[in-house]
Structure 1
């Protein structure tokens, strides 16, 4: 009997394994035929959360009579406002609206995929009297990724919508490249800003391979198709070209920043150095020393503050519950990217 149950359990495990493989293959085939699913846009009214929190604290801390008087006063004020709007609807002033976007940048500026959709959505309804606030955190990354991210923020400026960038922790290198597009840059006292420079590194294991009698052949069409390599022997000419490419990219970076913030002494600032918020203000890297929280709270009374978030559609791995393998794949791609030749802000 025990032997029968063991055999039966083994058969069931095999059957389940086959079913999972078939299900996976069918899902992959179906996803290939299916049109890509759009992401989802969510809008959160931050004023409401703030008012609810304040009301909860008032309820917990205030005397019942005082609380009752405040609630009466609030209702009376709201009633008068509604009455005035009904009486003279043409004179009713529509509240300014602040659209809050978040950008948490990695080395590839991956967050730009969601931010570009959020900006498109906001620009479809925003007016020049409104404002876009971007809470930005990034230590920089690849040139093309942050170049695209900065270009997305320029769309807001080109639409004549005021743009404010708030930095609570860091906006360095490519992160500052994005921040400098704003009409106004606000940073916390100990936020790190600057690092207007370019860096690139590439390991080379040619000598190790040479000792092991391993040859590596690299064939290119074009003199500078590959200046430095990981496996082959690098030349002085290749190194000089690589350094020149970095200098050219740095010059492009400096021209971009000085074009956005002409008040900067770009030659003294673009050394790759960084400054804390208070020092950054002295060097004109920012306009105000303040946290993003303080800035938003200061607008809760006279503006409608809404957070806009675009969520990317789930990939096949996530839909099938294979998030572990997806994360593993992303780590592998990131590791390979770090080993390969690249220039970064």
Structure 2
């Protein structure tokens, strides 16, 4: 029988432990490399799928008319009635539910006898960004309404905008004026904000309804631009700009701004503000412009006191009232967009969220 001394036993144990550690280390290295290889492979495959999908989307979009689109219509009153019936099924017992459904059926039958004379309310949504880009859909929706409307019909415009570029918001306001020219009553509904360009749109409506804490007003104009001239100068970088016309460019991003250029820009802002004031006064002559055209914005309750709005209520209340009186149709213009357009729109929306400032 062979016996081992303690030092020999310890040596064997250490040797075994070393070999086990080396094996585990090798296995760990193998799995790490394998996982890295797997991650690289998955990344490449996903990238290839994205590129292939993008190429396919572009190819498909080229076969379609990129400017094609259509106005989608949904019956909001039916949706509200369906929601109410769903609640009643749980709220009422069988006998009461049966009586309720019988009454509802009779009401629908009576309305169906003369659907032509029933009034219709058209619900539009306008969520504004700096460029008022939703105006392209708004103009199509309004054109559809003007062609389909009957005497007694009305429009509810859910409006949410903190303002933006003067020219595009002026165009959006002009679209609402088309409804008024067609003798269609327009109510602007403001749940959150209608400031600056947003309020320019709101005043063209026959009536403005705002929630108690909506932000209203901001009848003013602002322009702001960073200037990197000194930063470029410190790095010995010249910025050259060539113009024809004394005030073709009043202030610049990279060049040296002059006192005359700044003065000209202020003059242009004052002229724009004067036009804004005149526009508001034309459609809400009861306003004291010296009090409200200061560029300030007020919460709904204060805006009501100042005459900036006509009623305090949420859009939901007004829509329910309209649904009790007649049909309510929601209109939404959907345009076919190419894949690059969708990417560009997503990038633009991200930029606007970072830099949106009322003008």
The normalised TM-score by structure 2 is 0.80
Deviations 1:145-183 (A, max 9, x none): 101100111100011110110000000000000000000
Report the number of matched residues. 318
2:97 equivalent in structure 1: 67
Aligned ranges for residues 1-345 of structure 1 at < 5 Å?
24=55, 35-79=65-109, 85=113, 94-317=117-340, 325-326=343-344, 329-330=347-348, 345=359
8 Å CA contact 1:45, 1:305 repeated in 2: yes
Does the residue aligned with 2:170 lie in a helix, a strand or coil?
helix
Does the residue aligned with 1:124 lie in a helix, a strand or coil?
helix
Q: CA deviation at 1:261?
A: 0.7
- Which of the two has higher C-alpha Rg? 2
**Separation (CA, whole Å) in 2 of partners of 1:138 and 1:18:** 38
Cα 1:100–1:17, aligned 2, differ >3 Å: closer, same or farther?
Answer: closer
8 Å CA contact 1:167, 1:291 repeated in 2: yes
**Separation (CA, whole Å) in 2 of partners of 1:79 and 1:230:** 67
8 Å CA contact 2:58, 2:338 repeated in 1: no
> Hey, which of these two has a bigger chunk of helix by percent?
2
**Separation (CA, whole Å) in 2 of partners of 1:23 and 1:287:** 49
**Separation (CA, whole Å) in 2 of partners of 1:22 and 1:103:** 32
In structure 1, the gaps of 5 or more residues are: 1-5
8 Å CA contact 1:105, 1:175 repeated in 2: yes
The normalised TM-score by structure 1 is 0.83
2:29 equivalent in structure 1: none
**Separation (CA, whole Å) in 2 of partners of 1:18 and 1:61:** 51
8 Å CA contact 2:61, 2:338 repeated in 1: no
In structure 2, the gaps of 5 or more residues are: 1-36
8 Å CA contact 1:156, 1:162 repeated in 2: yes
Q: CA deviation at 1:18?
A: 12
Cα 1:306–1:78, aligned 2, differ >3 Å: closer, same or farther?
Answer: closer
8 Å CA contact 1:197, 1:253 repeated in 2: yes
8 Å CA contact 1:108, 1:142 repeated in 2: yes
Provide the alpha-carbon RMSD of the alignment. 3.0
* Structure 1 runs of 4+ with >6 Å offset: none
Does the residue aligned with 1:300 lie in a helix, a strand or coil?
helix
8 Å CA contact 1:40, 1:312 repeated in 2: yes
**Separation (CA, whole Å) in 2 of partners of 1:246 and 1:158:** 30
**Separation (CA, whole Å) in 2 of partners of 1:18 and 1:291:** 46
8 Å CA contact 1:128, 1:162 repeated in 2: no
1:3 equivalent in structure 2: none
Q: CA deviation at 1:36?
A: 3.3
Q: CA deviation at 1:64?
A: 1.4
Cα 1:78–1:171, aligned 2, differ >3 Å: closer, same or farther?
Answer: closer
